[in-house]
Structure 1
Amino acid sequence: MKRLIQRGLMFGNLIPVVSPILVERYNRALKRLTGKQTELTDFHIDISGYSPEIGDELGDDLYLNHKGVNRQFILLTTEQKTAPLLNAKFSTSRGILRQFIEANEAQLFALTARDGVAGELVNSVYGLDTPARLFDIGHVSIEADTTDGAVAAAAKLGGMIDQFMRDEGAWFDDVLIGNMIGLAKDTGDITRNPVKLADMTFDQDNFWTAHLGGLYLFRGVPEPAAITMGDKSGLGDLPIATVLQGDERSAIAQFLKANDLAEPIVEARGIDSGAILRQKMDFIVAAVAAGLGEDLAGATRRDLRNMGRRYFDMLPAAWHGLADLVRWAEDGGAWPHIDSEHPAYFYTLRAKAHKDADLVNMLLAELSPMDVRQLFICHKEAFYTAYRGWTDEKKDYVAQFLSTEYQVDKAGTRDALFGFEAAMSEPSGPPPLPDLIDRVGPWGAVRRRD
């Protein structure tokens, strides 16, 4: 992983903790959450406050995520909202943390100016002892407070103030007044500077989890399904009608179509579909060439095209399918026969514009693993796992490509690949009949499961 770390492709954009004051605050929060502390005097943290250095020190990469189910967090600064989430066990965790920080940014800025904030993403499941237990996760709420309990104290003081204003005899209640004064010394004037974090709860209908070999759960769609990258026979009976595994290509394609979750790249508006498909072809060529010991250091797109000619007979069916599609899209070639069982099929799709687009692109990335750029952008856990098994030649090429052609313009690349252009307005009147592409897809009907 050294190549990735050196280029900022792994452990990048973490927040450094070097001040003795911040280290002390972190230790207080860590002690409160886990009963542990660190001896390190400087380290880096992600959006949840997890530190890979402390994880190594404690010999526990899940020291803030016991059993990988209820993610705890430590906030030292609101700047953590831009950091990644390492060792993610659920695809929704980073988004939840970022929304929490942004919704409470002013309050958290004031609270972290004097103390660390410790909290937890709470659901009703404390361990996935059985696969079916995953379906008990319906929503996630957030509990958080400073290590000295400032938020709880402010809430208590607020209740006392309400009682004081409501009860006629409160002016003569010396105990109540004394308690209010005592709490106010710690909380300050909460009538002018409220110390309150918004109550936030997030529904968990559609998400990915690293548990159970990697599983995608779609419950908030018209035709729900669970899709596992492992062996579905080991999951037992699950409380969902449709359970698929990664090699059931036609069934997955039908699921995506039935729920209107994905679209062909060549039909997407506002993108250079030919360039995207050609880049996918280059990644496949690089994988083949690297496996044959080809030195890819400094390889350009022209070099990869030359390698594609040289190793033409060794290139997989996915490459040939993409080549046929590019030929049809750009040169008016023959209509490509790419059905859902074709190895190129999932390389030709991207998520449609909907709230679960990131999750669908994550699934598509895992189903088209030779597209290393999409795998890195959409599913870093799968990317790092795949990276460990690559040859040194492929590791060199991928690390260099991502650092020179992706890192320099992350936002632009993401927009070019996955951005959405607003649909053009349609004339009024009855909706037109669907054309052939709308009915059966751009390269033939998706096969239904038996």
Structure 2
Amino acid sequence: MLEMINRHLFSTHLLHVSQPTMVARYNRALEALCGKTVNLTELHIDASGYSPEVAQILGEDYLDQGGTNKRFIILSVDQIHLQLMDPSFTSNGDVIKSFIKDNIDALTTLTAMDAVYGELVNNLYVVTDVDDILNLRKVSVDIDTPKKLLTKGEKLLKMSQSTVQDNDHWQSDDYLNEMTELAKELGDVRVNAMMPTHTDYELRNLFTSHFGGLYVFRETPKTGILGKPAVIHLDEVPATDIPVNWIDGHDPSAVFKFLQTEGFISKLADNQMSARLEQFELKQRHILMEHLSLSSDLKFDEVSDYDLRSAILENHDSLPEHFHQLNDMIHSVANGFYDDAQEIGPYNYKISSGKKARAHKALVNHLVVRYTPMSLLRKFVFNYDLFKQEFTSWPKEHREYVVKYITDCSAYITEMRS
């Protein structure tokens, strides 16, 4: 990952922290959370404050002991625009960003003076069985700062209220001096928003990396019954006595049918397929370039369309099945005989425009990119963990090709995330 950071590949994923004051604030928050500090002059952080550079020193789980993503650090409210890099639960990123949005004024005030650190409180510290996940419904956010600004702010607010209610406080120099010192540090807490007002959240649909990967959908009125979640499993079905509508994640047809029935995705019409023809051809090129990187000495910076067509002829029988499937679809769309009656699948879907689908766009994309091998941008934006696994397995030549492609598409990546 650090290689990609050094190439500025993660300008839309991570916040660069280089000012000595901000690095020092991060260290103080880190010490408050973990009891440790790091000797760094700069670092990058995601929405939760996780830093790849710090992880190299303290370990990948320094904010995620027990695999529940409970702890976080906020240096700037701009973290609301970032993603979580490797979440054990995608819902935690949703909660952190909702918390920032709902308390933007208070967090703006706090981060102007100090770092904010906190924890997602749900009484789940270690996941032992799938029931721990299925019963996870609510979470609250508990925060403070290394300077204890919230504790001091709450104290000052109570003291100021007491002076109105109890005239004896006006006679105490010690009491008034303490108020004055707190006010010098915090300002007028009656006017300056400092205390978060929204700290409780419901957990609805989510992905967890536990048990080989589970997508939990609680809002499934069309395919399930009230109180019975639909769960897409990527590994064996874990044992539970809780009623669950299990969907095999290795059956793309079942997954896409579920998403379509529940209104998360819809099928592209004939004219929409034609409009995406150029995108399909680009995905086909990605598949071919990956294959050639494994089996050819072709120089990626010198390859021409003629070279690619020749490579298809020379490697036709060894190309992966999804290349041929995509090629057949491109051929049918380009020549006007695409059958739009076929089932919805990896290349003829779109995220629906309804409120429910928009609310869970990131989660749905996180899921469907598992079935579209060369949706590089979508995978990079919505399922970075999967992208990283694939990226590290590629030869250097193909990594170079992908890095250049993603870098060239930085504006489109920003648009995708909006």
1:43 maps to a residue whose letter is L
1:94 aligns with 2:93: yes
Contact kept, 8 Å, 2:69 with 2:92, in 1: the verdict is no
The SS at the match of 1:121 is: strand
Q: Which residue number corresponds to residue 350 of structure 2?
A: 350
**Pairing partner for 2:256 from 229, 247, 253:** 253
Q: Which residue number corresponds to residue 217 of structure 2?
A: 218
Deviation at 1:53, TM superposition (A): 1.9
Deviations 1:58-88 (A, max 9, x none): 2x21112221214312223334334443322
1:230 aligns with 2:230: no
Q: Which residue number corresponds to residue 431 of structure 1?
A: none
Q: Which residue number corresponds to residue 403 of structure 1?
A: 407
Q: Which residue number corresponds to residue 119 of structure 2?
A: 120
Stretch deviating more after TM superposition (311-320 or 365-374): 311-320
Contact kept, 8 Å, 2:107 with 2:194, in 1: the verdict is no
Contact kept, 8 Å, 1:9 with 1:403, in 2: the verdict is yes
The SS at the match of 1:244 is: strand
2:283 maps to a residue whose letter is K
1:368 maps to a residue whose letter is T
Aligned length: 404
1:33 aligns with 2:53: no
Deviation at 1:319, TM superposition (A): 2.8
Contact kept, 8 Å, 2:20 with 2:41, in 1: the verdict is yes
Stretch deviating more after TM superposition (269-278 or 28-37): 269-278
Contact kept, 8 Å, 2:269 with 2:340, in 1: the verdict is no
Deviation at 1:146, TM superposition (A): 1.9
Deviations 1:189-214 (A, max 9, x none): 22232422232333211011122222
Deviation at 1:33, TM superposition (A): 1.3
Q: Give the whole-Å Cα distance in 2 for the aligned partners of 1:378 and 1:116.
A: 27
Q: Give the whole-Å Cα distance in 1 for the aligned partners of 2:7 and 2:41.
A: 25
Contact kept, 8 Å, 1:282 with 1:305, in 2: the verdict is no
Superposition pairs of residues 120-269 of structure 1, within 5 angstroms: 120-165=119-164, 167=165, 170-173=166-169, 179=175, 182-186=178-182, 187-222=186-221, 223=223, 224-232=229-237, 235-237=238-240, 239-266=242-269
Superposition pairs of residues 283-432 of structure 1, within 5 angstroms: 283-295=286-298, 297-298=300-301, 299=303, 303-333=307-337, 335=339, 339=343, 345-353=345-353, 354=357, 355-404=359-408, 406-412=409-415, 414=416
The SS at the match of 1:92 is: helix
| RMSD after superposition | 3.1
1:9 aligns with 2:9: yes
Contact kept, 8 Å, 2:214 with 2:231, in 1: the verdict is yes
Contact kept, 8 Å, 1:283 with 1:370, in 2: the verdict is yes
Deviations 1:21-53 (A, max 9, x none): 333322322222122222334433333222222
1:191 maps to a residue whose letter is R
TM-score by length of structure 1 reads 0.79
Q: Which residue number corresponds to residue 70 of structure 2?
A: 71
2:191 maps to a residue whose letter is R
The SS at the match of 2:90 is: coil
Residues 290 and 112 of structure 1, relative CA distance in 2, 3 Å threshold: same
Stretch deviating more after TM superposition (193-202 or 302-311): 302-311
Residues 289 and 24 of structure 1, relative CA distance in 2, 3 Å threshold: closer
Deviations 1:281-330 (A, max 9, x none): 22222233333225251245564444334433333443333333333333
Residues 318 and 40 of structure 1, relative CA distance in 2, 3 Å threshold: closer
Deviations 1:161-181 (A, max 9, x none): 44554x4xx113568895465
Deviation at 1:13, TM superposition (A): 5.3
Deviation at 1:335, TM superposition (A): 2.9
2:197 maps to a residue whose letter is A
Stretch deviating more after TM superposition (251-260 or 11-20): 11-20
Deviations 1:119-173 (A, max 9, x none): 12222311101122111221232222222222233223334444554x4xx1135
Q: Give the whole-Å Cα distance in 2 for the aligned partners of 1:16 and 1:392.
A: 26
Deviation at 1:336, TM superposition (A): 7.5
Residues 176 and 385 of structure 1, relative CA distance in 2, 3 Å threshold: farther
Deviation at 1:2, TM superposition (A): 6.7
**Pairing partner for 2:277 from 274, 278, 282:** 274
Deviation at 1:334, TM superposition (A): 5.6
Unaligned 5+ residue runs, structure 2?
Answer: 224-228
The percent of aligned pairs where both chains have the same amino acid is: 26
Unaligned 5+ residue runs, structure 1?
Answer: 420-450
Deviation at 1:182, TM superposition (A): 1.7
Contact kept, 8 Å, 1:218 with 1:226, in 2: the verdict is yes
Q: Which residue number corresponds to residue 442 of structure 1?
A: none
The SS at the match of 1:202 is: strand
Contact kept, 8 Å, 2:213 with 2:234, in 1: the verdict is yes
The SS at the match of 2:407 is: helix
Residues 25 and 320 of structure 1, relative CA distance in 2, 3 Å threshold: closer
1:230 maps to a residue whose letter is D
TM-score by length of structure 2 reads 0.84
